Structure 1
Amino acid sequence: MESIIHLADRHPQVTVEELVAGLRPSPRFGEVSFDSYIPDPNQPTQAAAVTALRNFAASVGGGKSEGGFFGKLFGGSKNNAKDKTAGIYLDGGFGVGKTHLLASLWHAAPGPKAFGTFVEYTNLVGALSFRKAVDMLSTYKLVCIDEFELDDPGDTVLMSRLMRELADAGVKIAATSNTLPGSLGEGRFAAVDFKREIQVLADQFTVLRIDGEDYRHRGLPAAPQPIDDDAALEFAQSRYPGRVISEDDFSTLIEHLSTVHPSRYRQFIDGIDVMVLHNVHTITAQNVALRFVVLADRLYDRDVPIIASGAPFDQLFTEEMMNGGYMKKYYRTVSRMTALAREGTLVTADES
């Protein structure tokens, strides 16, 4: 007999120990490798990225760079030209496999090592204090940051300082984003006021551009149409017998998200096998949309099939949002939610 739960009733609490223990790839990427990444033969940058990351993995644990971070920033010694940058940065559109490659790097590199999303690191700093977070992460050989996005000035300065100190300690850094490091923050806030901090980050990365189309939709049909609302739960129960199903009204859920810090969204959906969403509609408030982006990423990490009624997911955000400063985030979310909705509607009971 399946269990029905309501996410709107959940208020997860996360300890510092749980935050630290969670700095590893999600279950979706728990066993990936460079060998399991299949480059598109029509996109040579994908195979080149695999080669570069294999070499980068082999360099992890090599110790502090000559001259250190501040040496590179302010001119330093004559030998600084020989210094290697502190990190590697995977830039490309959504769906080209950046997170797969970042997780493969994490699996291939020696430990201790950390893997987390941008918001998880900022929350770690908040939970531990900046100095304690630096002290802890400085003992790691590799720090991987997925979904690197700077949405406000405070985070820009925070991550700039964190990168500085980790690089000085000899920690290798790898990150993924849909935005080149020198362009982080554009269209979101007064980036010109924080150009120095943004440039400090950009200077620390070797950028690997990964071209290609969204692998989640190569040669596949369009997103499935939403289910009739009265039939959504019954549909989920018939397709996924014996599973834990979350059932929520979309409006109630997105309102409840404002009471749960995004860094807790992993625990928020813990134990859920299938999601049923009633009456999906277009989100019109930017802050609500950004919170839903984080939830969508965590659902995708956990590979949670979605059965939804209401508007299709390609209408999840307004046209203005889809063309604004956060457009790459929103396109990623539409892509991922469409993939999960396709999985939810097309999987048969035998396949489940």
Structure 2
Amino acid sequence: MSFPRLVDRRPELSPDELVQAMTPPPRFDVVRFDTYLPNPEEPSQAQAVRDCSTFAEGINADTGGGSWLRAMFGRKKTGDGKSGLYLDGGFGVGKTHLLASMWHATEGAKSYGTFVEVTNLVGALGFAETVKRLSEHRLLAIDEFELDDPGDTMLVTQLIAKLTDAGVRIAATSNTLPDKLGEGRFAAVDFLREIHAMSARFSVVRVDGPDYRHRGLPDAPPPMSEDELTRLAEATDGSTLDDFDELCGFLGGLHASKYGRLVDGISAVHLSGVHAARDQDVALRLVALADRLYDRAIPVRVSGEALSALFTDEMLHGGYRKKYLRAISRLTALSRDLAKS
């Protein structure tokens, strides 16, 4: 029997669609500050809610006019004179929930995207056009902010400088403090001036705590047999079934900014023959796919090795460690979703 496969889909996004798509993903459509449940044992979480709410209120209180007025006079900054808010903390503490809540609480034109979506927008529109369009917005929210290579460093630091000078407020989430971005991935020391200039524009809000996705919950279900995986894929309307290696190869030819469109409308993803990623490039593509699946609450079933074995010990002790742990956390939660059904 022939099953629908992700590798047979050909997602495309026009430049205008890229701009229109810059909104929180489906999982975060309905989140608000009052739906965030701070861990009572982690006071930084309740403080983060207050700081993020104050940040959004400050944007709304600013009734400045168009971008030419903002460029001349600027907008109000945070209490410490900075124009951006940077949520730093481990994975699974609700940073994306808070970022999306800021977006929802902000009035007027605004945009929201992952770091890779923002960089891809620049690639699609060009730097000047991206600055022009986003300068009309009151807020740019950037999730999963990270500097993975020198090109991204120069691009993003310049973009943030242009936008904040035009009065746009920037809110971002990351697992890395802004002045430590890029460490362990490339020769970040060569770009310290740019990194420090960018980080100086942000107030840092720390969000501490354990991964909420797994507090008091069982481990992910073990991988199943090929026959059981095929049977369940057939029984799940709207699902896909892909060979893991074939999917990894397919992702290599698809820009990560299209991974969300790739899985739109899918009810569940089934992966056959899962094993550890063969190299860092494949591993990072799997991280991006895991994030987009999680954004859309698309459950996952696998055969082969467990999802916790996607990344080698060497990877888990390298510069991308936090990304890999976040992916495992999210995929574990998604596989648990299907196990309950």
Normalised-by-shorter TM-score class = over 0.9
**Residues 1:321 and 2:312 are matched in the alignment:** no
Partner in structure 2 of residue 120 of structure 1: 117
**Residues 1:96 and 2:93 are matched in the alignment:** yes
Question: Structure 2 CA distance, aligned partners of 1:114 and 1:81?
Answer: 20
Question: Structure 2 CA distance, aligned partners of 1:86 and 1:151?
Answer: 24
Partner in structure 2 of residue 37 of structure 1: 36
**Residues 1:231 and 2:225 are matched in the alignment:** no
Tell me the C-alpha RMSD between the 2 structures: 1.8
Structure 1 segments of 4 or more deviating over 4 A? Answer: 63-69, 80-83
* Contact 2:275–2:309 under 8 Å retained in 1: yes
Question: Structure 2 CA distance, aligned partners of 1:253 and 1:44?
Answer: 42
**Residues 1:215 and 2:212 are matched in the alignment:** yes
State which of 135, 140, 163 in structure 1 corresponds to 2:137: 140
**Structure 1 residue 236 displacement after superposition:** 3.7
Structure 1, residues 273-328: CA drift from partner, whole Å, max 9, x if none? 11110010001200111111111100000101111101111111000100100000
In structure 1, the residue corresponding to 2:87 is in which secondary structure? strand
AA at the equivalent of 1:257: L
Which aligned pairs between 1:61-76 and structure 2 lie closer than 5 A?
61=60, 62=62, 63=64, 64=70
Structure 1, residues 239-287: CA drift from partner, whole Å, max 9, x if none? x3xx201110000001100111101111111211111100100012001
**Structure 1 residue 8 displacement after superposition:** 1.0
**Structure 1 residue 33 displacement after superposition:** 0.2
Which aligned pairs between 1:174-253 and structure 2 lie closer than 5 A?
174-238=171-235, 240=236, 243-253=237-247
State which of 81, 84, 101 in structure 2 corresponds to 1:84: 81
Report sequence identity in percent.
Answer: 53
Question: Structure 2 CA distance, aligned partners of 1:333 and 1:128?
Answer: 29
Structure 1 range deviating more: 227-236 or 244-253: 227-236
Structure 1, residues 14-41: CA drift from partner, whole Å, max 9, x if none? 1011101110000000110000000000
Question: Structure 1 CA distance, aligned partners of 2:215 and 2:173?
Answer: 22
AA at the equivalent of 2:54: N
Question: Structure 1 CA distance, aligned partners of 2:78 and 2:255?
Answer: 43
Q: TM-score, normalised by structure 2?
A: 0.94
**Structure 1 residue 121 displacement after superposition:** 0.7
Partner in structure 2 of residue 163 of structure 1: 160
Question: Structure 1 CA distance, aligned partners of 2:46 and 2:268?
Answer: 34
With over 3 angstroms needed to count, the CA separation of the structure-2 counterparts of 1:169 and 1:313, relative to structure 1, is same
Which consecutive residues of structure 1, in runs of 5 or more, have no partner in the other structure?
Answer: 70-79, 348-352
**Structure 1 residue 66 displacement after superposition:** 8.9
* Contact 1:65–1:84 under 8 Å retained in 2: no
With over 3 angstroms needed to count, the CA separation of the structure-2 counterparts of 1:218 and 1:66, relative to structure 1, is farther
* Contact 2:84–2:170 under 8 Å retained in 1: yes
Which aligned pairs between 1:5-16 and structure 2 lie closer than 5 A?
5-16=4-15
**Residues 1:260 and 2:267 are matched in the alignment:** no
Q: TM-score, normalised by structure 1?
A: 0.91
Which consecutive residues of structure 2, in runs of 5 or more, have no partner in the other structure?
Answer: 65-69
**Residues 1:285 and 2:282 are matched in the alignment:** no
Partner in structure 1 of residue 49 of structure 2: 50
**Structure 1 residue 46 displacement after superposition:** 0.2
